[in-house]
Amino acid sequence: MGVDLTGSRWDLYRALSEPVRLRLLALGAEEELSIGELAELTGESQPNVSRHVAALKQAGLLSLRKEGTRSFIRLMNGVSEDAVVADAIKSGHGLCEKDGSLKRLGDILEVRDRVARDYFADAGKKNSSAKGAPSEYRAYLSLVASLLPRRALAVDIGTGDGSLLDIVAPMFDHVIAVDRSEAQLAFAKERVRSRGYKNVELVCSELRGEKLRSKVGQGADVVFAVRVLHHAPSPQAVLNELAALVRPGGSVLVLDYAPHEDEAMREAADLWLGFEPGLLKKFTKAAGFESCDVTPIPSTFRGEGPDAHLPWQALIARKASSKNSK
């Protein structure tokens, strides 16, 4: 069912009477964007963008999500089913193509991505010791407890210094540990060498890279993404890519933060201050998973790192088996 927009058609037409609002609708239909990002894309001031967003929100066309000191908007689910709204979005799309803001949307996502990329490229900022078990190993074990019986192949996305390998490597026949930073993989390589893991393959690749896809082949039994999602320019896109790496009947296990208010974490390249469980379930459903569970991680399991004070949660999403997907 779509959103009920039958209350006052005049109010709806009035809300759509501004070209700026049409552009905001079109941009909100493409990606969840902050007020500041919308101001940059449209060339409008932030107060003016906020004013127009408020009118569209009141009309039931945009949803507004607060995250720390920032506000993010997206198109309200179902509103595009209304013929008038669909036409408004189409018109806004044309305006955005004409003024170049739609093309610049990719630049906005690239800026988000560059924050994390630059942070992790500087290996000196994160040089965990490869000696000893990671202090947060009990959080990792919370994921391992949910593993499916098939353990032929596991993929560790964003392996970093390879901390998770101390848990995963002894349990799977083959482990592909992936990171896009050569500097981070250097630490993982030392961990693999010092532990003597013969079943771990280190791969430098983007998540969507063909190199990774070819090595995964028919799909992994389990794909791990530990504290990766909050660095992603588009969390939904990451879940989609993770789903593509999993075999039918396999699982994705994500460890990330629940919503918090620690703005200082942005200095560690955090783009998002955690995720509501409902939002994670929405992402996984859109990515095509059959089922999804989100479980909080006890504070005593979070180790002693710089993010130990944050609320952690585990997401377990399962992909339909071939016979169920027919």
- In tens, the pLDDT along 188-241 reads 999 999 999 999 999 999 999 899 999 999 999 999 999 999 999 999 999 999
Distance of CA 250 to the CA centre of its chain: 19
Indicate the fold that domain 124-325 takes in CATH: Rossmann fold (3.40.50)
For residues 65 and 72, the answer to whether their CB atoms sit within 8 Å is yes
pLDDT value of position 28: 96
- The residue behind tokens 């993989």 is 185
- In tens, the pLDDT along 97-132 reads 999 999 999 999 999 999 888 888 876 555 555 555
Beta bridge partners of 201: 176
- In tens, the pLDDT along 252-277 reads 999 999 999 999 999 999 999 999 99
For 9-99, give the CATH class: mainly alpha
Who contacts 241 (Cβ-Cβ below 8 Å, separation ≥6)? 207, 208
Domain ranges of the chain: 9-99, 124-325
Per-residue pLDDT at 6 exceeds 60: no
Start-to-end Cα distance in the chain = 25
pLDDT value of position 321: 86
Report the percent of the chain where pLDDT is more than 90: 78
**Cα radius of gyration (the chain):** 22
Mean pLDDT of the chain: 91
